[in-house]
A and B are shown apart, each in its own frame.
Chain A
Amino acid sequence: MDISLLNVIKLLLALLAIIVLLVLNSVVMVWLERKAAGFVQRRPGPYVVGPHGLLQTVADSVKLLAKQIVLPGSSDRLLFLSAPVLAMFPMFLIFLVIPYGPWLTGLEVNLGLLLILAFTGLETLAVIAGGWASNNKYSLIGAARCVSQSVAYEIPLILALLALAFMCGSLDLTVITEAQSGWVWRWNIFRQPLAFFIFVITCFGETNRAPFDLPEGESELTGGYHTEYSGMGFALFFMAEYTSMMLVSFLAAVLFFGGSNGPFINGFWWTFLKMGLFMTFMIWVRWTFPRVRFDQLLNINWKWLLPLGLLNLWVTAVVLKLF
């Protein structure tokens, strides 16, 4: 791309919009998550601050902003403070390349899928850094779990997405979206159901959410990798969780649900609607299923999803070759 003033302004505007989107997303989703948890457990959920607790997360974020960041005595200062930043930072780049609508993309690159997969791996690095720097056994166990978990789920995830890339002949997310235009049955969820199945399971591991939230594991690890974090450090890790949740929801919308192609009147609102529905589904799953044991998670990923992903890839390749 050419570096002209117009492009730079466009990039800066896109980054600004993304920052606003990420913050708004965290504020709204934390409220929605707590409310949904309440409804599932037949409680009212947050209720007092604002109408039906709508301002609860605003109050919470003000509290977290004002809190002191407690540094554990023997921690690695630099790593400890930079880990939460490292968890949030790659997200801005990832959100630049997602095609929200036909004309609404921060930065058009022809290797968007590869870029997203590469930079989501950085979140694992942030968790390791945080867990190591805390100098706390629970944090370290959480970080170690995060590493072996990420190795286990990322391979089936990449295999599933590779089948999509085979079919569309491109790693460009815009091309993948356009390949699904037309009517609803052109969506990849109907053409690649097995890939979607693998994607749904692995995306819970990707976001470190229940039932695969082993790096946190409150009941075993008192919070896992963010045990020692307080104030904004904790808030940034929390935001990173909801941001990666939004990321995989956008990925699901763009890759499997046709992105901005709706049943009628195509536009970016379809992407956002599908993203919201997928995120609601993730919340629903979190409050339904208990956390799996670690060997169960590795069994699911290595013994079932990996062969399934290979099978899917093979069948896709054969079908593409034959027809």
Chain B
Amino acid sequence: MIKAIVDNLRGLWSLLVGLHITGRFGLGPFPVWLGLKEPESGYPQLTTHYPWKTVDDADLVTFRGPLELVPSEEDPRRSKCVSCLMCVRACPSSCLTVVKGGQGKAPAVWLNDFTLCSLCGTCVEVCPAGALRFSHDLYWVAEKREDLVNDLLARLAGAAPEKARL
């Protein structure tokens, strides 16, 4: 009985501690505006106010966006893909279309239907050549459903000259 009462009083104290933790930032930027707090200690906003600000590229390294092909070492315009179709077979959403028949083992067509893709990463894991990876595209927008079918070969060829892409 006494133990239960003590436990409950402790619990009530922990509720007050919780209120303190949320209350520190609960007034938002007002304490800073009113000069009650230093700007740096006052209101560290954890989100990015998107249309006006964007995330730094360096912070996007951990973002796993739509699939892309890894450029080969010799020629950044060509992919490492050997057209083995392991990824197509492993894909649970059937969102990949790979057609053989390029130069050597290279594929002729490499499509990723992003309307179906669930970004599970099975294709990235299963690829024996290490030719697939997640891109860091956070702000990819399409206006039509067809635009979401991503032609990865064209994308690789287009992105190569910049070389800035991580």
**Interface residue A82 (Cβ < 8 Å from any Cβ of B):** no
B23 and A284 contact, CB distance less than 8 A:
yes
In the complex, chain B residues whose CB is within 8 Å of the CB of A59: none
A44 and B22 contact, CB distance less than 8 A:
no
Residue on A nearest B15 in the bound complex, by CB: A289
B44 and A39 contact, CB distance less than 8 A:
no
Taken together as a complex, chains A and B put the C-alpha atoms of A285 and B8 apart, in Å, by 18
Among B22, B43, B44, B45, contact of A284 (Cβ-Cβ < 8 Å): B22
Which residues in window 20-76 of A have CB below 8 A to B? 35-36, 38-45, 47
**Interface residue A238 (Cβ < 8 Å from any Cβ of B):** no
A284 and B19 contact, CB distance less than 8 A:
yes
| Known pairs A44-B49, A284-B23; A38 contacts B15 (CB<8 A) | no
**Interface residue B18 (Cβ < 8 Å from any Cβ of A):** yes
Among B22, B27, B28, B44, contact of A288 (Cβ-Cβ < 8 Å): B22
Taken together as a complex, chains A and B put the C-alpha atoms of A38 and B29 apart, in Å, by 11
B8 and A35 contact, CB distance less than 8 A:
no
In the complex, chain B residues whose CB is within 8 Å of the CB of A42: 25, 43-47
Taken together as a complex, chains A and B put the C-alpha atoms of A38 and B45 apart, in Å, by 10
B26 and A43 contact, CB distance less than 8 A:
no
Taken together as a complex, chains A and B put the C-alpha atoms of A44 and B46 apart, in Å, by 9
What is the minimal beta-carbon distance from A221 to any residue of chain B, in angstroms? 25
Taken together as a complex, chains A and B put the C-alpha atoms of A35 and B26 apart, in Å, by 9
What is the minimal beta-carbon distance from A273 to any residue of chain B, in angstroms? 17
B18 and A289 contact, CB distance less than 8 A:
yes
Residue on A nearest B28 in the bound complex, by CB: A39
| Known pairs A284-B23, A288-B18, A304-B8; A38 contacts B28 (CB<8 A) | yes
**Interface residue A287 (Cβ < 8 Å from any Cβ of B):** yes
In the complex, chain A residues whose CB is within 8 Å of the CB of B46: 41-43
Size bin of chain B's contact surface:
10 to 19
In the complex, chain B residues whose CB is within 8 Å of the CB of A304: 8
Among B8, B15, B26, B49, contact of A39 (Cβ-Cβ < 8 Å): B26
B23 and A44 contact, CB distance less than 8 A:
no
A39 and B25 contact, CB distance less than 8 A:
yes
A44 and B26 contact, CB distance less than 8 A:
no
Taken together as a complex, chains A and B put the C-alpha atoms of A38 and B47 apart, in Å, by 10
B19 and A44 contact, CB distance less than 8 A:
no
Taken together as a complex, chains A and B put the C-alpha atoms of A285 and B26 apart, in Å, by 11
Which residues in window 72-125 of A have CB below 8 A to B? none
Residue on A nearest B52 in the bound complex, by CB: A47
In the complex, chain B residues whose CB is within 8 Å of the CB of A284: 19, 22-23, 26
Residue on B nearest A280 in the bound complex, by CB: B26
Residue on B nearest A38 in the bound complex, by CB: B28
Residue on B nearest A36 in the bound complex, by CB: B26
Residue on A nearest B30 in the bound complex, by CB: A39
A43 and B47 contact, CB distance less than 8 A:
yes
Taken together as a complex, chains A and B put the C-alpha atoms of A261 and B150 apart, in Å, by 68
Taken together as a complex, chains A and B put the C-alpha atoms of A36 and B26 apart, in Å, by 6
Taken together as a complex, chains A and B put the C-alpha atoms of A42 and B23 apart, in Å, by 11
Which residues in window 51-81 of B have CB below 8 A to A? none
Taken together as a complex, chains A and B put the C-alpha atoms of A43 and B47 apart, in Å, by 6
What is the minimal beta-carbon distance from A205 to any residue of chain B, in angstroms? 16
| Known pairs A42-B44, A44-B47; A35 contacts B22 (CB<8 A) | no
Binary flags per residue of A254-291, CB closer than 8 Å to B gives 1, else 0:
00000000000000000000000000000011011100
28 pairs from A and B in contact (CB 8 Å cutoff): A35-B28, A36-B28, A38-B28, A39-B27, A40-B22, A40-B25, A42-B25, A42-B43, A42-B44, A42-B45, A42-B46, A43-B45, A44-B45, A44-B49, A45-B28, A47-B49, A284-B19, A284-B22, A284-B23, A284-B26, A285-B19, A287-B26, A288-B18, A288-B19, A288-B21, A289-B15, A289-B18, A304-B8
> Closest 3 CB pairs between A and B?
A39-B28, A42-B46, A288-B22
**Which residues of B pack against A, CB within 8 Å?**
8, 15, 18-19, 21-23, 25-28, 43-47, 49
Given contacts A39-B25, A289-B18, 6 further A-B contacts (CB under 8 A): A38-B28, A40-B25, A42-B47, A43-B45, A284-B19, A285-B19
